[in-house]
Structure 1
Amino acid sequence: MTNIEHETIYRVLGSDEWAEALSAGQYDGAPHDIADGFIHFSTQDTLAATLALHYAGRDHLKLLRVPVAPISAKLKWEPARGGTLFPHLYDTLSVEYVTKVDDIRLDENGVHILPEDLR
């Protein structure tokens, strides 16, 4: 299943995880990704909910922006959260495919602050 309306997908991870990925040249996923057999990604529309559900209260996060085109052969769009299609990468993520990395911090109310162009 493909979803051509999205050119970019997003992955949230800790600063330490990103540092490890840079050192290794690839991101293998968090423990839950490895257990599921794929790396979970979000779309721009699902990003805020992903942060609230899975990263509540966590500060100093990184947001990876990854274009769909170069990884499309290993990417599947599968239903989750009430049938919404989410991008799942059935492979490791080479750091060369990450086009931008944003810092995600918490505001004074503990809500994640998304980059201006994603609000």
Structure 2
Amino acid sequence: MPLIYKICPASAWREAERQGVYRGSRDDARDGFIHFSTAPQVNETARKHFFGQTGLFLVEVETDALGAALRWERSRNDELFPHLYGELDLGAVRRVLNMHARSDGTHDIPELEP
């Protein structure tokens, strides 16, 4: 089963756990879909969009559970990125990992499965 990843503030994820669904960030709402990354894309996504931020989670999601709402679309560097057109049912989440911030603004990325 292929896996994809969502970086989000821990507070936003805790709220999703309370509600039973993740609806995405303000950027996701603006763009009309929830942004995800593949394992090889996570480092660059963290650097580009989350540099210097603390209190982040990396949410690992099983793509097989997302159905037709998941689309692969060209984005940064003409790479295909996973975009979810709809809410993320927490039943699709495999695990939630801490992303520790380093003093230089980068993050320790846990070992990921593709």
Identical amino acids, percent of aligned pairs: 36
Separation (CA, whole Å) in 1 of partners of 2:75 and 2:60 = 21
- Give the match's secondary structure for 1:58: coil
Backbone CA RMSD of aligned residues: 1.4
In the alignment, the residues of structure 1 paired with residue 7 and residue 65 of structure 2 have an alpha-carbon distance, to the nearest angstrom, of: 19
Distance 2:26 2:106 in 1: 24
Instruction: Confirm or deny: 8 A CA contact 2:63 2:92 kept in the other structure.
Output: no
Query: What is aligned with 1:108?
Result: 103
Q: Residues 58-77 of structure 1 correspond to what in structure 2 (within 5 A)? A: 58-77=53-72
Deviation of the 1:118 alpha carbon: 2.8
Q: Identify unmatched segments of 5+ residues in structure 1.
A: 1-5
Normalising by the residue count of structure 1, what TM-score does the alignment of the two structures yield? 0.90
Runs (5+) with no aligned partner, structure 2: none
Per-residue displacement from partner, 1:62-108 (whole Å, max 9, x unpaired)? 01000110103110000001210000000100112111000001123
Which residue number in structure 2 is paired with residue 29 of structure 1?
Answer: 24
Partner of 1:91: 86
**Higher helix share goes to which structure?**
2
What is the aligned partner in structure 2 of residue 3 from structure 1?
A: none
2:37 corresponds in structure 1 to 42
Q: Using structure 2 for the length normalisation, give the TM-score.
A: 0.94
